[in-house]
Amino acid sequence: MTTIPPAHPSDDAATSAFRHELYPYRGDEQYLSGTLGYIHEALEGGEAVVVAVPEGRASLLRGELGDEPAVTFVDTTTLGPNPGRLVGAWVAWMKERGAQDRPVRGIGETAWREARSAAHLSELRYHEWLLNRAFARSSAWSMLCPYDDADDDRSALQSLSRCHPLIRQDGHYVRNEGFLTAEEYPFDALNPPCDPFQELSYAHGDLAAVRSKVARCAADAGVSEDQQRKLAVAVTEIATNSIRHGGGHGTLRTWTQDSTFLCEFRDAGYIADVMAGRSRPTVDQIGGRGLWLAHQLCDLVEIRSTRDRGTTIRLHVDVAH
């Protein structure tokens, strides 16, 4: 087993409850140096570790760690492609391993080069930023996010670094001056719908018409019957929320783009909670299930909501070939 000395914070390291570090690396040697240092630091402190990384990286770590009982490897592929499911998954993984307030560390590495589209890549970055909100008061949890910088893409690294308050360098974590602390995340603008697109205005009493419209368009686009059934549930939830909280009416648009079928809902409402739909609703919770279900049933969900422009929600479904 390779022994790596534990990291220590530099004098200017950020001091927040949740320690969220970005670790840019190049090659297997740097990867193991940073991740094993982080893991050994946890083990020496009596902490548990949850590792969610691509299989190739997991194999490297298993080869060094052996059957270390305090380290748990989880399979993120079971969650599907939607980054909107990841916050809820991390909450569950860390609570499971952190029984009785035992400190837990996570290692979460995204296969960035496997992003399916620009929209998917944008939502992956947004997930990284949301982790700071999800665990803001969780002093017993911390997370390291390795990032393969082999391509030397400065713009990509800069965009991702804005989502992490700390950066690990040479076995230490330091404050990231480029971290985005603003209350409102600077979303990438949504691209306009592709022509030809279908459009339908809806209001109270129009849910059946909305479902029927989506069903016809999805079938024409080649969406599988199983995914059509899931989409029908998601569409019903989003349209219902739109009518109840978006001024009583809205606009539906559907189109196909790059092997993806999209449903877009626009209304005059405003979603103030940036974590809406990201955390599993409790059994006794009243409301708040619509966006959660949409994330579980669709391959991607994009939400843009401001007080002055209202809300736009796009549901993405992959079209099978």
* pTM assigned to the model: 0.90
What is the mean pLDDT of each successive set of 10 residues along the chain, which is 321 residues long? Answer: 37 61 96 96 93 95 94 92 94 79 89 87 94 84 94 89 93 90 84 92 96 97 96 97 93 96 97 90 78 96 95 94 60
**Other C-beta atoms within 10 Å of 6: how many?**
15
Can you give the pLDDT at residue 231?
98
- Domains belonging to the chain, first-starting first, are 19-175 (3.40.50.300), 198-318 (3.30.565.10)
* Phi-psi label, residue 59: left if phi above 0, alpha if psi -120 to 50, beta otherwise: alpha
Can you give the pLDDT at residue 99?
62
Token pair of 77, please?
A: 């592929």
Can you give the pLDDT at residue 129?
94
Q: Report the amino acid identity of residue 13.
A: A
Can you give the pLDDT at residue 186?
85
Instruction: Please provide the DSSP assignment of 11-31 as one string.
Output: TT----SSEEEEEEE-HHHHH
Can you give the pLDDT at residue 89?
94
In this structure, is the dihedral angle defined by the CA atoms of residues 211, 212, 217 and 223, taken in order, positive or negative? positive
**Other C-beta atoms within 10 Å of 203: how many?**
13
